[in-house]
Structure formats: C-alpha cells, structure tokens
A and B are shown apart, each in its own frame.
Chain A
Amino acid sequence: MKLRRYGESLPERGVFTRPFGRFATAGELASWEDRFQREWDRVQLTDRGRAGALLTVVPNLGEWSRFLEVVRAAWHTWLRGLGENRIA
C-alpha cells in the first residue's frame, strides 16, 4: 500500500487532508449542535441582531478544543458534501 503525503492530490478522492486521526461520529456533532441550539434558544429574539449576540454560545477554551477535534474529524465528509450539493 502506498503511503500518502499530507496534502497530496488523490485522483480518485480529491485532496488527502487527513493522513491519520479519528472520524467523528454523527452523534458527536449532533450533540454539539443540540447544545449550541439550546444555548442559542436562550438568547432573546430581540438580542439576536446585536453585536456579540453569539458570544454566550461560544464554548470556553477547553471545550473549544474538544469541539474543534470533532469538527476536524467530520470536516472531510462535510466538505465533500458541499461539493456534491450546489449552493445557490
């Protein structure tokens, strides 16, 4: 089996962006989504247009790192999905 370099183009699959790492389960991302949605729902409708309205939902630094891990693991699938679904 040929080892692939980070960033190497793969004719059959686009760009190989994750040489190793883990895959996020749908449940992990959904769990973050549920949490953010719950927190966003607590922001008053009248406050949502204000500067800084989203800041209460951004997780603290430790949780942010964990969130990024999940996003990182799911990103390749997500980006491929973007290519397959035209956005107007």
Chain B
Amino acid sequence: MAHVAPWTRRESHCLAVLYGGLAFYEYQDRALWPQFATALQRQPFLPNEQTQINATFSAAVSRLGLRVKRREGSADWVGTAIYHIGIPLSLWEGFLDVCEWALWQPDWEALDDADWRGAMSGRTGGLTRLKTFLCENREAARVKIQEMLGARKVLTEDESLTIDDVKQVCFLRSEYFDYVPETADFLRPANPASLLEHSPRLVWDEQRWRLSLHVPGVAALPASWRIATVLQQAALTPHEILLNSAAFNPALKVRLEEPNGAQEWDLPGSEPWGLFDLSDGRAVNSKREQLPVRAYDLISQGPLASVQREGFDEQE
C-alpha cells in the first residue's frame, strides 16, 4: 500500500490534473518530463525524483478511480496521462485526418494490430509522433474517433445544433477549435462557421485591411468584452471589436464580464505572424504543416526575415 505525504494525499486531484494538463497542452515526442520541468521552471528531474513523483501520481489516480496503463510489465506513465485526457492538442490536427480516413473505412475498428499500424503509417505520412501515438494508444484513439464520427453525423444532420448540443456524444474542448480551426471543417463541412459563432474569434478583413474580434451576442446586459487594453460594451447580437495592432500578441486573452460572472478565452494571436483564410477571413492554425489549396493572407506587424512557399504554385 502506498504511503504518501499528507500534503500529497490532500492534493490528489491537483496532481492528476497536473499530469493530464501537461499531456493535453504540452505533449511532444512520447515524453513529458522535459515539459514537466519547463512548466515548473526548474532543472530536469533526476531519475529518483521521477520515480517518487510517478509513485505519488499512481496513488493519486488510484484514489480518483482512474486507470494506470501498463506496457511490457511495467507502468506506462506518459501513456497513462494521455489516456486520461484523450488526444493531446499537439496531435489534434493529424488526428482529424485519421477521423476523415475512418469515415470512408467502415471496418476501421476491426483491423488487426498489424493492419492498423499499416493504415496509420499510410495516413499519418511523415508525422512519426502521431503514428506512434495512434499505435501505442489505440484504445484511446478508437474511442475518440467513434465520438468524432458520431458528433459529425449529428451536427451534419441538424444544422441548428451547436457544440453544446453534442456534449453527451463527444466532449470537444474550445482549444481544439481555437488552435485547430479545421475541427469545425470536419464536424460540419458544409457550414463550419456556424459552429464557431458562439465564441470569439479573430478575423482578417481583406477589403478594409483590419483585424477584428468577432464576438457572439450575450443574453444578459450590461456586459463588457475586454481584450488586453481594449474594452467594449457587449450587445445582444453578434458584432465585431476592432483590434488591429492589439492582435499582434502571441496569445489574446478575451474576457466577457457579465452581471452574474465572467468567462475567459485564450485565443492564438498574430505574433510573430498570423495566417488567414480569405474565404471567410478566419485565422488558420499557423502550426499546420500542410494547408488545403485555398487563398491565404499572411499578416505581420513587421517585415519577416524568410518567407518560403513549397507546393502547387512552384511545381506548375
């Protein structure tokens, strides 16, 4: 039986969420310890510290009734943290591609491990990190793919439904939409913007050369929107808040202050640059490795040292 420091016993949920949050926000390359040390702004953990912390984590998750994953006879702590949160944010975009593949493969769940590995290799291309994740965490991936296909079916069949309406089918974090706007494309291909209009989003107006925040209407007034130094009264109907230079931050903290409380969103900003899809002006995930063939504007506050394009235009 684990004997854990009293402080630790009191904070079991904090420790489980710490591991889960690191897995969700920071997961890279099958490792969590470097991100763990960076997040805590300290030196890399020593092996004996890792062992102690993992043992405490094990006791904490047992107390919460969460599973500990095992691999080859020993506990797999990174796999466990990822299993607890589903798909890390850094892998979400590639995961959407796999969901797209599953749409057209009715027997995707029945593939044996070798065929699954082959399919994932083909689907993920050079994204080794994602392929490894999908093969090593097949169960977590399977459950989430099922949920995503279910959510897409419901949202496509009834365009009046919102993300809130499918919460029982599939829990979708707002970060998936904020950092990977293609999430809406997958869930409602015919009208992705309809899924985004219930939360604030950064939009580039190509005609008037301005960056604005499109915000939804609020139910209770008086209320106000605050973004950095910009403060604007909220309205009952959707409207836009002019940001321009205020958009050039690595992240935009958006706060809605209402009579009965406040809500906050953290959106990716346009520093050092932002990429916008000209079909609807919305911001595109700037970390994407490949983009659909569309027209884009690259917006920066100053000259960029090196801008290169590869692909369709150059091969013509």
Contacts and interface: CB of A to CB of B under 8 A. Distances in A.
Interface of A: 6-7, 15, 17-18, 29-30, 32-33, 36-37, 40, 45, 48-64, 67-68, 71-72, 75, 77-79, 81-88
Contact of B66 (A15, A48, A64): A48
Contacts of A6: 43
Say what secondary structure dominates the interface of chain B.
helix
B3 A64 contact: no
Contact of A29 (B5, B11, B137): B11
What does DSSP make chain A's interface, helix, strand, loop or mixed? helix
B171 interface: yes
Contacts of A52: 83-87, 140, 143-144, 171
Given A55-B86, A56-B171, A29 B14 contact: yes
Nearest to A81: B5
Contacts of A82: 5, 8, 49, 52-53, 56
B144 A51 contact: yes
Interface of B: 1-5, 7-8, 10-14, 16-18, 20-21, 24-25, 39-43, 49, 52-53, 55-56, 59, 64-67, 83-87, 137, 139-140, 143-144, 171, 173-175, 251, 253, 264-266
A67 B21 contact: yes
Contacts of A86: 3
Contacts of B137: 51
B2 A87 contact: yes
B177 to A, nearest CB: 12
Given A60-B175, A68-B40, A88 B1 contact: yes
Nearest to A15: B43
A57 B20 contact: yes
Given A62-B253, A63-B264, A18 B42 contact: yes
Given A68-B40, A87-B3, 4 more contacts: A32-B13, A79-B53, A81-B8, A85-B3
